[in-house]
Amino acid sequence: MGGFNVSEKPLDFLRGFTVDFDLKTGMSKMVDTGKRYLSQMKGMFADEAAFDALLAKGDALVYEFHSMPVPEHEGDLAFGCSIVYPGKVGGEYFMTKGHFHTILDTAEGYYCLGGSGYMLLENEAGDYSAHELAPGQAVYVPKDYAHRSVNTSATEKLVTFFVFRADAGHDYGTIESKGYRRLVVERNGKPEVIDNPKWK
């Protein structure tokens, strides 16, 4: 599955600690885990008919995330692991919802541990970019940009490690209400970035 392997000793955020980032042993009780199923992604994909048809076949797990319970203080760092499963809604690849940080003046770093895909970035002014993710590659998400992980593999999970300032917060509401201006879809067997016809 994926996750952290840590001892049962309390995590010492004042003096430091070591985490064995092991993607095979499962989750520690000291890690916060969240899962997003297809039913929780309603409105995120452009093709609503394809979404409804896929959901009728079962509520697939689209992605999950695991993070350390870091104090949300200025100066601390939050970090964890995101896993996006393979799949598509129509021609659009499975992805995370995407978010801005509540504190917009916050950058974030991602390091790809497995799979393949893209990090889709855009700011409120409409500037966007799509950065390839493959094992060993890191993506820098600049401040003021929303970010979304997209899994373009038909068979492999997209696994990334992330780190950002602990007090940054997450703004999912903006993306949920407006969507992304661009989508990553399969065209002729390859990923392609297109305009989102549903963007508000």
- Determine the pLDDT at residue 122: 95
Query: Is residue 26, in this structure, part of any structural domain at all?
Result: no
* Residue 19 belongs to some domain of the structure: no
Asked whether the beta carbons of 12 and 71 are under 8 A apart, the reply is no
SS3 100: strand
Average pLDDT over residues 13-23: 69
Output the pLDDT for position 2. Answer: 44
Averaged pLDDT score across all residues of the chain: 88
Task: Name the CA dihedral angle for 200, 129, 132, 117, rounded to a multiple of 10 degrees.
Answer: 0
58 inside domain:
yes
- The pLDDT score that the predictor gives to residue 33 is 75
pLDDT over 90 at 159, yes or no: yes
pLDDT score for 160: 95
Give percent of the chain with pLDDT exceeding 90: 70
Number of domains in the chain: 1
Range of the structural domain that residue 66 is part of: 32-195
pLDDT digits 0-9 by tens, 70-120:
788 888 898 989 999 999 999 999 999 999 999 999 999 999 999 999 999
**What is the rounded CA–CA span in Å between residue 46 and residue 183?**
8
Interval 35-57 mean pLDDT: 96
Is 184 within a domain? yes
Identify whether 15 is part of a domain.
no
- The whole-number average pLDDT for the span 9-24 is 68
Q: Which of 117, 122, 61 has the alpha carbon at shortest distance from 93?
A: 117
Greater pLDDT, 22 or 101: 101
pLDDT at 52 (0 to 100):
98
Look at residue 133 in the predicted model and tell me its pLDDT.
97
The count of other CB atoms within 10 Å of the CB of residue 70 is: 17
Q: Are 77 and 162 in contact (CB under 8 A)?
A: no
Read off the CATH number of the domain in which 142 is found. 2.60.120.10
Per-residue pLDDT at 7:
46
pLDDT-based confidence at residue 21 (cuts at 50, 70, 90) = low
Place of tokens 């021609």: 91
For residue 16, pLDDT over 90 is answered with no
Q: Is residue 17 part of a domain?
A: no
Whether residue 3 is predicted with pLDDT greater than 70 in this model: the reply is: no
